Amino acid sequence: MRRIYFLLLLLISNLVFAQNTANKNFAGSSPDFTRCVNMQEYELLLEKQDPTRKARRDSAVKVINEKIEQQKQDHKAEATQYTIPIVFHVLWNSATPAEKISLAQIKTQVKVLNQDYNRLNTDTVKTPAPFQPVATSFHITFCLAQTDPNGNATTGVVYKQTTATAFSYTNNSAKYPFQGGDTIWDPNKYLNIWVCNLGGGLLGYSELPTMPLDNTYGSVIFYEAIGDSGYLPLAAYNLGRTVSHEVGHLLNLHHPWGDDGGLCPGSGGTDDGVADTPPEGNGNNDSYTYNASSNGATFGCPPFPYTDNCSTTSPGIMFENFMEYTDDNCMNIFTKGQYAIAQAVMSGPLLNLVASTTCNPPNGIEEYLFSSSISIYPNPSSGKFIVSLNQENSTHNTIEVLNLLGQTIVKLNTDKQNNTIDLSGEQNGLYFFKITNGTYSIVKKIMVLR
């Protein structure tokens, strides 16, 4: 009996710490799953495991805050375009074949990231009118890496068979081969996302940035919550928003309620540090809260407006924010304040990552002369590009334009020196020009920006 009692206490404490089981069957939600961990408590756990982490984290926070202040002083109106290469580490056990999710499904997750972070998601129409003025794009293009750490071609997805049946956030086991995980690729060149059977009813967890970046920096995602097409048995989490949420943490975004147990800013509670996300502490003890002593998170998909103990009048809390715990089909907005933080991160702790060229395929040295003879301008462009080939290399060329999913959207066989490629009908973002002459093939990155 003593042993059983101890195990019960251990289980209860784990559930409280991770916030990873809901005790209500929310309408439209899958019970017993939670989006994320308590970021305050998870950071304390990481610092306990590595006493040197706090100094790196403090350094990152200092730089981020300085960058935000500089943005305010500069009154920047222009939007910097960022590119972030991703590598997915898919850990799968042969006893559960569904864990080996397809490349096609992973590509839909990249599509979702590009939509959500550029406000191109089709459900922006669901953003309530009072919140629309603060909604914004982050101007980030995510892509699957095409060059691996050894300079070889890659799909941006690593499949690793494992004997592990489940992985835990408490020991970051997905990131260590000796625990059945997979080694991180250089976090200064790749955004690492591990996909696995994440235990405890948890959909995902991430680390906040440090300076320098830790060798565990990245997100871990439950394999049933990747993308918006494929194997997605959880009805409430089948639109890829778990990854959108977790990447937000990698950009130093916090949960809107501050992970403080339901308190309000000014009354002993913490905040997410974002002025345009309303104060939140959801202690309503209704069908959209965790329990009678709510941790502050909101679950399911409440009706608008939804008020709580911190935002008591309409429009209430911003439960539609991607950093919430609400269902995928309820999320549709990032704010200008959140973008300011992410922009500071990308010009600070992630400066090397956004400068990485691993979105491009490897380019052999024998192709150098061919590559240097080609120019594409203007770049960026609102849609029309000139591909200029010198006279010696202007015959028998094929020009292809590929999107981030590797799909060919334009193909042209040409013998001309100057060729106009019109992408006016395509969305803003990163594209690749692949130019071949029968012997050599090169790829150049271009940006459509209006």
Please list the active-site residues.
246
DSSP H helical segments within 84-220, as ranges?
103-116
CA distance 331 to 244: 10
| CA-closest candidate to residue 418, choices 441, 385, 449 | 385
Return left, alpha or beta for 261; rule: phi > 0 is left, psi -120 to 50 is alpha, else beta: left
353 near 187, Cβ under 8 Å? yes
What is the β-pairing status of strands 157-161 and 82-92?
parallel
Q: What is the DSSP letter of 362?
A: P
Pairwise CA distance, residues 241 & 340, whole Å: 21
What is the number of H-type helices and E-type strands within the chain? 8, 13
Counting Cα atoms < 13 Å in the Cβ hemisphere of 322 gives 33
DSSP string computed for 6-69: HHHHHHHHHHHHHT---SS--TTS-TT-BS---HHHHHHHHHHH-TTHHHHHHHHHHHHHHHHH
Nearest-CA neighbor of 59 among 213, 270, 247, 190? 213
Does 303 sit behind a cis peptide bond, omega within 30 degrees of 0 on the bond before it? no
Instruction: From residue 17, give the alpha-carbon distance in Å to each of 3, 141, 260, 322.
Output: 21, 34, 12, 22
